[in-house]
Amino acid sequence: MKKPIYLDNHATTPMDPRVLQAMLPYFTEYFGNAASRNHEFGWVAEQAVDKARKQIADLIGASAREIIFTSGATESDNLAIKGVAEMYAEKGNHIITAATEHKAVLDTCKKLEKNGYRVTYLPVKGDGLVDLDMLREATTDKTILVTIMYANNEIGVLQPVAEIGKICREKGVLFHTDGVQAIGKVPVDVNRDHIDLMSITGHKLYGPKGVGALYVRRKAPRVQLTAQMDGGGHERGMRSGTLNVPGIVGLGEACAICHKEMPEESKRMQYLRDKLRNRLEKELDEVYLNGSWEHRLPNSLNLSFAYVEGESLLMGINDVAVSSGSACTSATLEPSYVLKALGLGDDIAHSSIRFGIGRFNTEEEIDYVADKLVNVVRKLRELSPLYEMAKEGIDLSKVQWAHD
Amino acid sequence: MAYSDKVLDHYNNPRNVGSLDKKDSNVGTGMVGAPECGDVMKLQIKVNDASGIIEDAKFKTFGCGSAIASSSLATEWLKGKTVDEALAIKNTDIVNELSLPPVKIHCSVLAEDAIKAAISDYRAKQGQKVGSEQTVA
């Protein structure tokens, strides 16, 4: 068993060796610019890119012509949101999103607010899901875009995307979803789910970093975007810049592998994830799940271990890579805004650990992690004045804390 | 974030973890911080009335590795000092000893506050004790 054990697959994933193999010839052998129209080097590169377009489209139920390549999902989110905002500015200036979105969406919306757009940040319920009635009520005749992620990166919760898409169709509003965490893990279909735009990235599905795509619907309705990257008119004028051919080949191959292996893989991920949760809840008391259990990615777990602080927990399991919603682990010393949006107290956010199980994790690793975690939590609870007080029957919410 | 060896040592081998009897008149208890901030320290001292020397110190901390190390170190330093010497302990001493980075300095400040809170509680109890002796006479 190799250490440290990697259980942070929501942050990034190791590249599948098969993806690397597919990419390699495009660095030094088939190195042409896909936009070189006049010689074989260009044609071979263009062919590889077209193949990748099809592989990505097949995974999400789209057509190849609807795939635009970018440098990653952050760029795709920017392109979708700003591109629609600028293109449809005469139709309206109102955008709806959710409080638990990725910063790539939230910060883009904040930028648009500075430029005169109105943004509604829908709160979420305690289970992390958007309230569909609130969404309906929030739309106005000035609303031009709803952007709500398919699955959340911190808590793994799946939004009711098909229903959101239906509401947007009824209201004549475009629907963008950040599909980064969901694609390749659960079956996504842009037609079944009424999706008009979707952000995709390579490095969350065992593909390379630095490459992504944006699905842009061409029929019913035909979506138009104002390009954010100018210079040459690549990707139907939506995104200029020489294509990252090896990266795109990798992204395509990674999608093809997911398409084939997803049914079996998601069962296996779920088995490992459930085993981890069961062991921890059986061997420890006061363990809490953050976010809906039924509407969740099969490989995702976010647990709080009451009375134990997240960073000290991570220090104790130093040969396991996971992440925490604790303020101490963030550069800005702020606790996770996603957990706060669920209505959890800061102390629960401070005690949270996010587990993202991946293609290459084994049952042996899961057992090791469970053993280690149980030991560390027990040890830290012995050190914890809060655990001591709770065991004495003191209601911590009624205590007057002396803080400066 | 890389932890200093000393922080790791205190985390893996914390000194003086536990509780003293807070009802004991020779015990001062300081509880500082708040769960919402991610840091709560309970620090207790047992003082010998006659010599004024801190005979024992115990701590419990909810917080990151640097917070645990700061309070563990504090209990190590307190044992054998007089109450006045203990008041002279500065958070910067803790920062230097543990090589705390800037983002963790607040952990050392909390430890200094915990020391002062424990001493303040002890002194308050002494004030009451002296008072009750006078009235008994």
Q: How many residues can be counted in chain B? A: 137
Residue A383 lies in a domain: no
Enter the DSSP assignment of A193: T
Q: Percent of chain B, pLDDT > 70?
A: 92
Note whether B38 contacts A335, CB cutoff 8 Å.
yes
The beta strands (E) that lie in chain B are given as: 27-34, 39-47, 54-62
Of A347, A387, A388, nearest to B36 by CB-CB distance is A347
Note whether A350 contacts B38, CB cutoff 8 Å.
yes
Judgement on whether residues A172 and A269 belong to the same structural domain of the protein:
no
Note whether A386 contacts B63, CB cutoff 8 Å.
no
Looking up residue A38, the CATH number of its domain turns out to be 3.40.640.10
Note whether B67 contacts A382, CB cutoff 8 Å.
no
Test the B interface: residue of A308, A312, A314, A388 with most B CBs within 10 Å: A312
Strand partners, B54: B47
Angle at A260 between CA A258 and CA A261, to 5 degrees: 65
Q: B78, B107, B117, B118: which is the annotated catalytic residue?
A: B107
Question: pTM of this prediction?
Answer: 0.90
Q: Percent of chain B, pLDDT > 90?
A: 82
Of B8, B42, B117, nearest to A385 by CB-CB distance is B42
Distance from the Cα of A308 to chain B's closest Cα (Å) equals: 6
Predicted local confidence at residue B135, as pLDDT: 47
Predicted local confidence at residue A205, as pLDDT: 97
Residue-wise pLDDT for B33-88, tens only, equals 988 788 999 999 999 989 999 999 999 999 999 999 999 999 999 999 999 999 99
Judgement on whether residues A234 and A281 belong to the same structural domain of the protein:
no
Residue A137 lies in a domain: yes
Note whether A307 contacts B62, CB cutoff 8 Å.
yes
Predicted local confidence at residue A365, as pLDDT: 98
Residue B10 lies in a domain: yes
Domains contained in chain A, number: 2
Judgement on whether residues A237 and A289 belong to the same structural domain of the protein:
no
Judgement on whether residues A243 and A302 belong to the same structural domain of the protein:
no
Judgement on whether residues A158 and A279 belong to the same structural domain of the protein:
no
- The sign one gets for the Cα dihedral A65, A66, A68, A69 is negative
Which residues from B are below 8 Å from A when comparing CB atoms? 3, 8, 11, 14, 17, 19, 31-42, 60-65, 67-68, 103, 113, 117
pLDDT at B137 over 60: no
Predicted local confidence at residue B130, as pLDDT: 62
Rounded-to-integer distance, Cα A13 and Cα A208, Å: 9
In the listed set A216, A231, A258, which residue is the last one of a domain according to the structure? A258
Kindly identify which residue of chain A lies nearest to residue B72, measuring between CA atoms: A383
Q: Categorize the per-residue pLDDT at B136 as very low, low, confident or very high, splitting at 50, 70 and 90.
A: very low
Residue B112 lies in a domain: yes
A311 sits in which H/E element: helix A310-316
Tell me which residue range forms the domain holding B36.
5-127
Angle subtended by helix axes A103-114 and A73-87, to nearest 10: 30
Looking up residue B108, the CATH number of its domain turns out to be 3.90.1010.10
Distance from the Cα of A11 to chain B's closest Cα (Å) equals: 17
Predicted local confidence at residue B80, as pLDDT: 96
Test the B interface: residue of A323, A324, A328, A398 with most B CBs within 10 Å: A328
Predicted local confidence at residue B132, as pLDDT: 53
- The sign one gets for the Cα dihedral A362, A364, A370, A372 is negative
Residues of A in contact with B74 (CB under 8 A): none
**B107 belongs to the catalytic site:** yes
Q: A109, A168, A255, A328: which is the annotated catalytic residue?
A: A328
Test the A interface: residue of B36, B103, B108 with most A CBs within 10 Å: B36
Domains contained in chain B, number: 1
Interface list for A 352-391 with B (CB within 8 A): 382-388
Looking up residue A268, the CATH number of its domain turns out to be 3.90.1150.10
Note whether B37 contacts A403, CB cutoff 8 Å.
yes
In the listed set A227, A258, A289, which residue is the last one of a domain according to the structure? A258
Judgement on whether residues A96 and A153 belong to the same structural domain of the protein:
yes
Q: Is A76 on the interface with B (CB under 8 A)?
A: no
Tell me which residue range forms the domain holding A293.
5-9+262-377
- Which tokens go with A356? 């993202």
Kindly identify which residue of chain A lies nearest to residue B41, measuring between CA atoms: A385
Residues of A in contact with B117 (CB under 8 A): 402
Report the C-alpha dihedral over residues A167, A162, A218, A198, rounded to 10 degrees.
110
Do A221 and A231 contact (CB within 8 A), yes or no?
no
Note whether B32 contacts A402, CB cutoff 8 Å.
yes
Judgement on whether residues A283 and A175 belong to the same structural domain of the protein:
no
Note whether B36 contacts A316, CB cutoff 8 Å.
no
Judgement on whether residues A198 and A138 belong to the same structural domain of the protein:
yes
Of A315, A382, A385, nearest to B40 by CB-CB distance is A385
Q: Judge if the upstream peptide bond of residue A221 is cis by omega within 30 degrees of 0.
A: yes
pLDDT at B128 over 80: no
Distance from the Cα of A322 to chain B's closest Cα (Å) equals: 14
Rounded-to-integer distance, Cα A368 and Cα A3, Å: 11
Do A158 and A300 contact (CB within 8 A), yes or no?
no
Note whether A309 contacts B38, CB cutoff 8 Å.
yes
In the listed set A242, A258, A274, which residue is the last one of a domain according to the structure? A258
Predicted local confidence at residue B131, as pLDDT: 56
Mean pLDDT by 10 residues, chain A (404 residues): 94 98 98 96 98 98 98 98 98 97 96 98 97 98 98 97 98 98 98 98 98 97 96 96 98 98 98 98 96 97 94 92 76 80 87 95 98 96 94 87 64
Predicted local confidence at residue A21, as pLDDT: 98
Judgement on whether residues A166 and A227 belong to the same structural domain of the protein:
yes
Note whether A345 contacts B113, CB cutoff 8 Å.
no
Judgement on whether residues A104 and A206 belong to the same structural domain of the protein:
yes
Kindly identify which residue of chain B lies nearest to residue A351, measuring between CA atoms: B38
Strand partners, A13: none
Residue B135 lies in a domain: no
Cβ neighbors of A45 (< 8 A, separation 6 or more) are A26, A30, A31, A32, A33, A34, A36, A243, A245
Residues of A in contact with B33 (CB under 8 A): 401-403
Residues of B in contact with A388 (CB under 8 A): 19, 42, 60
Residue B137 lies in a domain: no
Residues of B in contact with A404 (CB under 8 A): 113
Judgement on whether residues A367 and A219 belong to the same structural domain of the protein:
no
Judgement on whether residues A338 and A234 belong to the same structural domain of the protein:
no
| Residue bearing tokens 């303020």 | A327
Do A307 and A384 contact (CB within 8 A), yes or no?
yes
Q: Over chain B, what is the mean pLDDT? A: 91
Strand partners, A296: A157
Cβ-in-10-Å burial (0-12, 13-18, 19+) of B126 comes to: middle
Predicted local confidence at residue B12, as pLDDT: 93
Q: B37, B52, B127, B131: which is the annotated catalytic residue?
A: B37
Note whether B60 contacts A311, CB cutoff 8 Å.
no
Residue A397 lies in a domain: no
